[in-house]
Amino acid sequence: MRLLLNPISQKRYDSIVKNPPQSILLIAPTGSGKSTILDNLSEDVTGKDNAGRIIELKPLEGKNSIGIEQIRELKRLLRLKSALKRVILIKNAGVMTIEAQNSLLKILEEPPKNAHFLMSVDTSNQVLDTITSRTSTWRLNPPTEKQLRDYFKNYPLDELNKALSIGSGRTGLICSMLKEQQTHPLIQSIDVAKEILAENRFERLLRIDLLNKDSTQAKLVIEALTLVCKSALEASAAKNSSSAQQWHKRLKSTTQAQRWLENNVQPKLVLSHLFIVL
């Protein structure tokens, strides 16, 4: 399946392929299709016959983070010089430990010849400021609604309208919704978000301890709540419904909760406040 990129993003993509910088940090919300974009970009940068020249770093089996030992191993691999372009692919750079990020920073400060780092995060604060300053940041522009409708035109209109409403321009999420791929983490969180919005305050508060045990899941649920509230607000406003004010208040609360998490406020405090005011 061909890439679906906003014209501005397509122009940036083409410029990277033509003249790849030493490192790129792609920034876009969960479900935007970052993984697919970086996979394609890796292939286009390295060209044909690229066996062994795309090195992907991801958490080892049974681990949730990329550790410093993996960066040390990467350093050993990069000592082997190559006359051809190599790509180091880190699709979720935010899961690197602080030690791993500091170790990676030393590579970025003195990059090996023909080595290009392609990384992505949901928000810039998921990696150290020193890493951001050493990379060329690329904030992804979402495709236009016309592009999305043309791209997914073979799907039933009612299903497409629903996916576009909730997906909020996130190509990966919209695609997963239309294909009913329930394994997508954000789709699972959207189902949870709908349950939470239908519950009373006491029932919501009972969920806090469970969500607090997994900060990644807590983030996804709050992000899903924001998407659902935004979709409901747009639907209410279109119908001139009296519920629009309530959905606007809920959207404002979920958006504030997202900002607090990004600023490293304790998830339990964020969830407690949000579940009381929803």
* Mean pLDDT estimate for the chain: 94
Q: Which of 249, 250, 271, 251 is nearest to 260 (CA)?
A: 271
Angle between helices 267-277 and 244-262 (to 10 degrees): 170
Cα 88 from Cα 38, distance rounded (Å): 11
Specify the pLDDT at position 257: 96
pLDDT at 1 > cutoff 70:
no
Q: What is the pLDDT averaged over residues 199-212?
A: 94
What's the pLDDT band for 249 if we cut at 50, 70, 90?
very high
Residues 132, 138, 69, CA angle at the centre, nearest 5°? 45
Domains, the chain, with CATH or none = 7-139 (3.40.50.300), 182-277 (1.20.120)
What's the pLDDT band for 182 if we cut at 50, 70, 90?
confident
Q: Which of 150, 181, 183, 182 is nearest to 164 (CA)?
A: 150
Q: How many helices (H) and strands (E) does the chain have?
A: 14, 5
Residue-wise pLDDT tens digits, 137-164 = 999 999 999 999 999 999 999 999 999 9
Residue 82 carries which DSSP code?
-
Specify the pLDDT at position 101: 97
Specify the pLDDT at position 2: 75
Out of 94-98, 169-173, 181-185, 261-265, which region has the weakest mean confidence (pLDDT)?
181-185
Specify the pLDDT at position 215: 85
User: By the 8 A CB rule, do 94 and 122 touch?
Assistant: yes
pLDDT at 218 > cutoff 60:
yes
